[in-house]
Chain A
Amino acid sequence: MPQPAIDVSHLTKRFETVIAVDDIAFSVKPGETVGLLGGNGAGKTTTISMLLGLLKPTAGTVQVLGADMVHHRYQVLHRMNFSSPYVELPHRLTVRENLLVYAHLYGLCRPRERIRRLIEGLALDDIAKRRVGSLSAGQKTRVALAKALLNQPEVLLLDEPTASLDPDTGDWVRTYLERYRDESGAAILLASHNMGEVERLCSTVLMMRGGRIVDRGAPAALIQRYGRRTLEEVFLDIARRRDGSEGVEAAQ
């Protein structure tokens, strides 16, 4: 049985009086895509920040590719990558310049060759010489994805990877990500509000609310368990449960 690429145990983050993440545990195996679902303030971004080592947990452990991300993150940062619409690339650099800078930061061999493949693969040819600041939101999302795939990461953390993309391009990017995962065996953790995307890409979904994982399972299993037709209905069931009752996992 393969070692998990991501292994989270009793992870907790407290900001003064607010508990942003409350004693969560999960793992992601190589080649697996796990979805992180939850409303605003559920703790998704805080969880991703701790996985990246950008945020120190109050308690618990985060291991990525066997490295403790609190103390030894530099052992594995070159083997993982990340994309989020809330973090941008330098606006005044062109797409190609940005990718070259990050290719050097990640120590890639033959960086220009890798960039050429990405530009072709993600259909960025037309905008490769344009400054990132002049791109549309959808184009920026594709460029961010190119940056996230530069180092062929074994662990990929994606926050809203298809935000701002039109349905056609969004579908195309999802296909690209599926193929990338299947070819490289990468472990992908995906935070998204797009339920169709999660249903399609993820083998397991973690439902978060108030910093806790309140339920988890395969999308189809969750839909069946809640007696709903779609994952979106399951999401709404959990998100709107404001009477203090919890999901199946939390109740157990």
Chain B
Amino acid sequence: MSTGLAVPRARTGGTARRIYAMLLRHLYILRGSLPRLLELAYWPTMQMIIWGFMSTFLATNSSWVAQAGGVLLAAVLLWDVLFRGQLGLSLSFMEEMWSRNLGHLFVSPLRPAELVASMMAMSFIRTLIGVGPAALLCIVFYDYSVFSLGLPLIAFFINLIMLGWALGLLVVALLLRFGLGAENLAWFIGFMMAPISAVYYPVTALPEWLQAVAWSLPATYVFEGMRAVLFEHRFRLDLLTGAVALNLLYLSAAFALFMAAFQSARRRGTLLQVGE
């Protein structure tokens, strides 16, 4: 009996191939589970339906909403980009913990930065699968297209998903530090930001002291920018600059925290045991 494996070793690809491998791993799961695919789109669609009826009602009862049809629907859909972006990244990591696969991953040539890149890419895919159908149904049900925001929509999307990634990485760092006991954070950390991100109302609606906190969040710049497009028909570059600057800061900090948690896990010896 021969193992048939004593052939010359040859290897191809590097970072890109390892990231592809991780994407493949998660896409196999999605491909094999229709309920998971439906689940991704379920909540964004439900949210959109509820806020769609609310918008219809307020359009005839609120002069503010009447000035810019779709302001609430655009806010709902964009908020979901942030939420799904964060959850998508955290879930990719939790999948590894649930299946007790982290030990194999961390002894493979996959580097932590590549793992992060793959989780970001997967978060992007999950977000598109989740928010895309809701945005299309919004056109059918309420005759409002979020795509009417034009090119600024791309800037809003990128900034919100970047903030989602920063939050997701924060959750992953906490999962590495505290194990699956920190799992619930993945589900509610995004909501903690919702009241002060000026999603559905202008930042001026907040108490003055809270406005300062709101302006420390990139999401506030995005939603103020969105209202500027809808109400004033102009794209505020100053708001975009603020959002990008804060996002780069938060994403860098979150990555540093993730690496610190990874190194701490290497010191404490928890990488092999991490899991359910």
Contact = CB atoms under 8 A, between A and B. Distances in A.
Contacts of B269: 13, 15, 20, 46, 49, 54-55
Given A55-B271, A121-B5, A106 B109 contact: yes
Interface string A77-121: 111111010111111111001001110111111000010011011
Given A15-B269, A104-B13, A152-B6, A52 B99 contact: no
A107 B99 contact: no
Contacts of A230: none
Contact of A107 (B14, B95, B111): B14
Contact of A105 (B6, B9, B108): B108
What DSSP secondary structure best describes chain B's contact surface? loop
Contact of B266 (A55, A92, A101): A55
B103 interface: yes
Interface in B1-55: 1-7, 9-14, 17-18, 20-22, 24-25, 28-29, 32-33
Nearest to B269: A55
A45 interface: yes
Contacts of B102: 87
A121 to B, nearest CB: 5
Contacts of A118: 5
A175 interface: yes
A104 B18 contact: yes
Contact of B104 (A56, A89, A100, A108): A89
Interface of A: 13, 15, 20, 45-46, 49, 52-56, 74, 77-82, 84, 86-94, 97, 100-102, 104-109, 114, 117-118, 120-121, 147, 149, 151-152, 175-176, 179-180, 183-184
Given A105-B21, A109-B11, 18 more contacts: A45-B272, A49-B269, A53-B107, A54-B271, A86-B273, A87-B101, A87-B103, A90-B29, A90-B95, A94-B28, A97-B28, A101-B28, A105-B108, A105-B109, A107-B11, A151-B9, A152-B7, A175-B1
